[in-house]
Amino acid sequence: MKYEMVIGLETHIELSTNSKLFCDCKAKFGEEPNTNVCPVCLGHPGVLPNLNRSAVEYTIQAGLSIGCAIAPLSKMDRKHYFYPDLPKAWQTSQLYAPLCIGGTVELASGRVIRMNHIHLEEDAGKLIHERGRIYIDYNRGGVPLMECVSEPDLRSADEAVEYLEILQGVMRTIGVSDCRMQEGSMRCDVNISLRPEGAEKLGIRAEIKNLNSFTAVRAAIAYEYERQTEILDNGGTVVQETRGFDGKTTASLRDKENSDDYRYFPEPDIITIAVSDADVERLQSQLPELPRVREARYVAALGLSEKDAAQLSKYRRVAEFFENAGASKLAANLILTQMFSRISTEVERELWNVPFSALDLKALIFLIDSGKLARNAAKQVLTAMLDSGEAAETIASREGLLSTGEAIDLAAAVADAIAANPGAAADYKAGKTKAAQAIIGAVMKATKGKANPEELRKTAENALSQ
């Protein structure tokens, strides 16, 4: 039978606050193990949490950016389980009264995915298996984390990944998280069930825990779809359970019968979190333009293609760079082709460590626009800029690429080139139109790229056909 998949995602996003959720320790990734720890985040006897208000505000901004309602009063709860990465034996989270309620994420197809809520919680430490032993690094313990819980509105792996990409783009743009899946600052649990196409009633779901890349999300969904289809086709029932994914297959971690009883109860050490209307207004007003809005503006105002607009809007630093460089079609072109081919990975683009400023790119564009630098020569200049970080004008004038103002005698240059390459003219006349390239190349070389490529092509073709 053909089944429709029904998917809901729980996305964990680490907040990029300076300090942890309950103490002053740095909330930083990648430092020496157990260097950013103190009695509070190690859960020593007698310590108490002091809630980091910026983590609360980051979560509110995340909620506002996807249209959540903000709870004027919310509470933290304790979720209990024994595991060495959890030094208090409970995770401080929110069950009964989360900070953000509702909200939506709209896919490119126009389909609207509803958010159930976003809650704030703390991350756990990390187990490191090495030399046959288990070590615990508590640097990550107590780092603020928000969990975005969607409704089961997604219908395919593509939709799931698109939803995650949108969430990632929004959270990066508003600056609440770097959302790096490879570093674990964005992770995802997939809830998936199948139902016969056209059916209303939801099937029994399995939850696949802790997926840390879009590829894994896609692969786990594909595998689960196959697995559940086979069970249903054979007249079986899917077991409601938690499953792990090893890169290829999913396997049961624990079923519902054996699921942990988290013994949630309200955290008595943290007072009710109050958020006033004024707080919400202030946080809303601080939100930058969101990727979707930005993208639409680039298409409407600059005439960029949707694809190009989306690429530029995806990374906050890229978008800012683009805007500071003048937000023109030419700027878009230079960034998306030459710069993106050099700065090629997801992480690099997000970090956008470029050796020159947006104003330097703007200066390069000015040279092109004012006719002082030919488009072709500009390529060479930009490459050099990416290498050395020097200003466009410095490079162009050193390389003698700047137009001196005198017109190039294209006809004469072409004639010289033909004279020097008699074979080329013969080939061209014999129908090998590619031979024109040799002449064009020779002229470009002779004029140090200053010739206008379009004019040069016409002049060369004319001369060769005579």
- Three-state SS for 300-346 is HHHCCCHHHHHHHHHCHHHHHHHHHCCCCHHHHHHHHHHHHHHCCCH
Interface residue with another protein among 87, 98, 144, 203 (CB under 8 A) is: 87
Question: Residue 48 or residue 419: which is nearer to another protein going by CB?
Answer: 48
What is the contact mask toward another protein in residues 9 to 48, using x (rule: CB under 8 A)? ------------------------------xx-xxxxxxx
Beta bridge pairs of residue 8: 191
Could you give the strand order of the β-sheet that contains 265-266, starting from the edge strand earlier in sequence?
A: 90-93, 77-80, 265-266
What is the contact mask toward another protein in residues 50 to 69, using x (rule: CB under 8 A)? xx------------------
Site residue total, another protein (CB under 8 A): 30
Torsion of CA 124, 127, 128, 129, to 10 degrees: -160
**Binders of another protein in range 240-299 (CB under 8 A):** 261, 263-265, 268-271
Q: How far is the CB of 254 from another protein (least distance, A)?
A: 13
Q: How far is CA 269 from CA 46, 47, 48, 123, 169, in A?
A: 11, 10, 7, 18, 35
| Binding segment toward another protein, per CB under 8 A, in 76-84, 107-115, 168-176, 274-282 | 76-84
Q: Which residue has the tokens 């989270």?
A: 93
Beta bridge pairs of residue 270: none
Interface residue with another protein among 8, 36, 57, 90 (CB under 8 A) is: 90
Interface residue with another protein among 78, 117, 119, 450 (CB under 8 A) is: 78
| Binding segment toward another protein, per CB under 8 A, in 86-94, 161-169, 199-207, 445-453 | 86-94
Q: How far is the CB of 82 from another protein (least distance, A)?
A: 6
Q: How far apart are alpha carbons 20 and 43 in whole angstroms?
A: 13
- Is 82 one of the binding residues for another protein (CB under 8 A)? yes
Would you say 148 and 167 are in contact if contact means Cβ atoms under 8 Å apart?
Answer: yes
| Binding segment toward another protein, per CB under 8 A, in 7-15, 77-85, 143-151, 307-315 | 77-85
DSSP 114-167: EEEEEEEEE---EEEEETTEEEEE-TTTT-EEEEEEE-S-B-SHHHHHHHHHHH
Interacting residues toward another protein by CB under 8 A: 39-40, 42-51, 78, 80, 82-84, 87-90, 136, 261, 263-265, 268-271
